[in-house]
Chain A
Amino acid sequence: MKTFKLGGVHPEENKISANKVIEVLPLPKQACVPVTQHLGAPSTIVVEKGATVKVGQLLAKSEGFIGANTHSPFSGKVSKIDTIIDTSGYRRPAVFIDVEDDEWDESIDRSSDIRYEINLSRLEIIDRIKTMGIVGLGGATFPSHVKLMVPEGKKAMVLIINGVECEPYLTSDHRLMLERGEEMMIGVSILMKALEVNKAIIGIENNKPDAINHLKSLCSKFNGIEICPLKVKYPQGAEKQLIKAAVNREVPSGKLPIEVGCVVNNAGTAFAVYEAVQKNKPLIERVITVTGKSVKKSCNLMARIGTSVSELIDFAGGLPEDTGKVISGGPMMGKALNVLDIPVMKGTSGILIMTQKESKRVVVQNCIRCGKCITVCPMGLEPYKLAQLSEIENYEMSESEKVLDCIECGSCQFTCPAGRPLLDYVRLGKYEVGQIIRNRTKK
């Protein structure tokens, strides 16, 4: 069975919610919708305080090529326009809505019929994906239409769909592939049409045999889509590692997947693309796993963007007594939250609650030069050295040691027997090297 070669680790999978059917989360009374939920230029808010909005109505318009629209996931009144610290930790503008009823924009097809026929042309598809505010739902929230506009001189050969879900605990993509597989496959066909490729590979780790079998059974209905079961190994869901695993090509350092003729999209994104193109539905909700060892009712929720994290936790049986950490995302790459009354966003794949005991880091000891961080680094870097360079603030050398290649998967710190905060230091190095490069290009 295929997997990537270099490095990787095997964290405990803990897919507690793997058998939980996706439930629809009841609407909240108040909601707060951050309007810049993507990588790229901030959007401009197009509604005013006091305005009445419908579900699917545009709240903020994207500015620039790399940007995404934000639509209202709720109907009701705009109570205020303010800023909020979102799950990324940055303060950003947001639209606050007092939710009333659930009135949808008429243009959205809310029927449960599955629409197979793809009527739009390539450019219409890309434009629709842009208008509907679709971003990468794996977590990076990169605007999807940008990936579909293949730059001059490059050619996409194969579309790779990321159904790996290598993060422990998370099951949102798993459930989506299982329950909405057909729609997702249509989404994949739409993406193939937009990219003008005739081959798509869906990579799924073999700890989800039910999803693999389900999608395989659907393959006969769709042309050119192939299911590729992968051996479980973290971080297989990282773009470059997935490409290596699925088609055995290595994206060169500092380059994008298109360099080797690949475009990667998340399984959740493919589903969102289906809804946008076939149902005219903007990205206003997504599947979010709420889980943790002490969570009473681990679940997979179809939640509207802008619902507060605490509402999701309440639905899952409330915050456990011994909670130490609440993480947006998975345990390997997720962000720890300091407050819970912040909204879930387009990139929120899960809410993970860890006990106090699990939240403690291990004691830091001297580096014993065991080299485990090197063995597990999927990018072939030397994390111990990058960390040392940050400690002594030698960022020039960090740059030549390719600190910017780091994908922040956390395998090094996960495995370090001396418990050293390697990734903390590497992140610092990445930030400082980024500054150095910016200053250099300014001159």
Chain B
Amino acid sequence: MNLLTVSGSPHVHDKDSVQKIMWGVVIALLPALLVSTWYFGISAIILTLISIVACIAFEYLIQKFVLKVNPSVTDGSAAVTGILLAFNVPTSLPIWQLLVGALVAIGIAKMSFGGLGKNPFNPALIGRVFLLISFPVDMTTWPIPRPFTTLVDAVTGPTSLGVIKEGLMKGETIDQLMAKSDTIHTALQQGHKLADLSGFIPSYTDMFVGGIGGSLGEVSAIALILGGLFMLLRKIISWHIPVAYIGTVLAFTGILWMINPANYINPVYHLFAGGLMLGAIFMATDMVTSPMSGKGMIVYGIGCGVLTVLIRIWGAYPEGVSFAILIMNAVVPLINKSMKPKRFGEVIK
């Protein structure tokens, strides 16, 4: 008779795996990539593929030759980092800069801490912030999306959050900015060819569907929400972080807007015009760098939301999602320590 296997219980497993989770995230990111390709052209796909290949290659090489361990790139986590990094840069970014970003993301933010599961900060965001600080011009030069490319001479345009921030800093009111933008809208509708799109603030529909300037993967709210719903259904993420994060931004900017609509844009722009959807659904929910308990996730989500608004409105950058998430990543160990799950039998009725 064969020898019997002996091991402790449980003797069955639900067959969920790191691979399944990571490839689930990849699938959830596909709609946003498709929308982006529609608006920015094939370069969106090319850039994403290069980023994936670079991240996987860097992880493989570092594991094989630097750490001298068995490469574990098949777990899919490097691919996810690759896609998210590409999603966080403009499609016009030079390839070599993207490669630098991938090396920073994988090499510094992930492998130097011990690889998957050990990194305190989201690798893709570290890569993005490194690029943003090193190449601020290239990283904030946004290609003009498809419906406008034939109507405008310039090949790059602003993001709406950038237009608003710049205008407000010059002392203009929201109403003046919107009026200026409206004249551009009218001109475009009448078929006038414009030199550039400065001062242009896109319509709600364009923001929701994705026809706006911005990073590769952040433009289409609807595609990102679809991906988020898929991940919710597959139980890859839970509702806590996205709801707390987006809810906080909505509440915070809503209050400001109600107090003084002349200086604060209405909250819909904060929801859809920047990287909030991508950040709240895909970046802040990164399992490795977010809290473990539901309670902790809500605190973390609120923290991300408050910081995002603070940076967007009073900070130096028009966009604050990356910084907000990275700062909250640093707080996660503290949250985990103080926000315990409710124990069975802890409260006596």
Contacts and interface: CB of A to CB of B under 8 A. Distances in A.
Contacts of B347: 250
A291 B349 CA distance: 42
B297 to A, nearest CB: 8
Given A9-B14, A362-B17, A366-B115, A402 B343 contact: yes
A319 B1 contact: yes
Contacts of A331: 9-12
Nearest to A418: B18
B9 A333 contact: yes
A423 B8 contact: yes
A335 B14 contact: no
B343 A417 contact: no
Contact of A382 (B6, B13, B18, B341): B341
A255 to B, nearest CB: 7
Q: Is the interface of A mostly helix, strand, loop or mixed?
A: loop
Contacts of A12: 12
Interface string B315-345: 0000000000000000000000000111111
Contacts of A360: 5
Interface string B274-300: 000000000000011111110000000
Q: Which of the listed residues B6, B12, B18 has the most CB atoms from chain A within 10 Å of its own CB?
A: B12
Interface string B95-138: 00000000000000000001111100000000000000000000
30 contacts: A11-B12, A240-B345, A249-B349, A252-B345, A255-B345, A327-B9, A329-B9, A331-B12, A335-B9, A336-B4, A338-B6, A339-B4, A361-B13, A365-B18, A365-B75, A366-B114, A367-B117, A368-B18, A369-B287, A369-B289, A369-B292, A371-B291, A371-B293, A375-B238, A380-B342, A411-B10, A413-B13, A414-B14, A417-B18, A418-B17
A240 B14 contact: no
Contact of B16 (A358, A361, A415): A415
B109 to A, nearest CB: 15
Contact of A334 (B11, B292, B342): B11
Contacts of B8: 336, 421, 423-424, 427
Interface residues of A, number: 72
Contacts of B292: 369, 371, 374, 382, 384
B13 A251 contact: no
A418 B117 contact: yes
Contacts of A380: 341-344, 346
Nearest to A381: B343
Nearest to A380: B343
Contacts of A317: none
A331 B8 CA distance: 10
Interface string B28-45: 000000000000000000
A20 B172 CA distance: 81
Nearest to B337: A385
A410 interface: yes
Interface in A333-350: 333-340
Contacts of B13: 361-362, 413-414, 416, 419
B131 to A, nearest CB: 25
Contact of B343 (A168, A244, A253): A253
Contacts of A368: 18, 21, 77, 116-117, 287-288
A336 B10 CA distance: 10
A354 interface: yes
A244 B344 CA distance: 10
Given A249-B349, A417-B18, A408 B118 contact: no
Interface of B: 1-2, 4-18, 20-21, 72, 75, 77, 114-118, 238, 287-293, 340-349
Contacts of A209: none
B3 to A, nearest CB: 8
A369 B344 contact: no
Contacts of B4: 323-326, 336-340
Nearest to B342: A380
A370 interface: yes
A379 interface: yes
A133 interface: no
A156 B340 CA distance: 33
B340 A382 contact: yes
Interface of A: 6, 9, 11-12, 168, 240, 244, 249-255, 319, 323-327, 329, 331-340, 352, 354, 356, 358-362, 365-372, 374-375, 377-382, 384, 402, 405, 408, 410-411, 413-419, 421, 423-424, 427
A358 B75 contact: no
B116 A366 contact: yes
B344 A379 contact: yes
Given A356-B2, A378-B344, 5 more contacts: A352-B11, A359-B5, A360-B5, A379-B343, A405-B344
A337 B8 CA distance: 10
B12 A6 contact: no
Contacts of B16: 372, 415, 417
Given A366-B117, A367-B117, A418-B117, A327 B11 contact: yes
Q: Which of the listed residues B13, B115, B288, B293 has the most CB atoms from chain A within 10 Å of its own CB?
A: B13
Contacts of A337: 4, 6
A366 B17 contact: no
A367 B20 CA distance: 15
Given A327-B11, A365-B75, A417-B21, A405 B343 contact: yes
A321 B14 CA distance: 25
Contacts of A362: 13, 15, 17
Given A369-B292, A380-B342, A384-B292, A359 B11 contact: yes
Nearest to B118: A366
A371 B347 CA distance: 23
B192 to A, nearest CB: 53
Nearest to B15: A362
Q: Which of the listed residues B6, B20, B75, B287 has the most CB atoms from chain A within 10 Å of its own CB?
A: B6
B7 A336 contact: yes
A359 B16 CA distance: 16
A405 B341 CA distance: 14
A417 B22 CA distance: 11
Contacts of B293: 371, 374, 382
A231 B340 CA distance: 27
B40 to A, nearest CB: 32
Nearest to A425: B8
Contacts of B341: 374, 377, 380-382
Q: Which of the listed residues A12, A329, A413 has the most CB atoms from chain B within 10 Å of its own CB?
A: A413
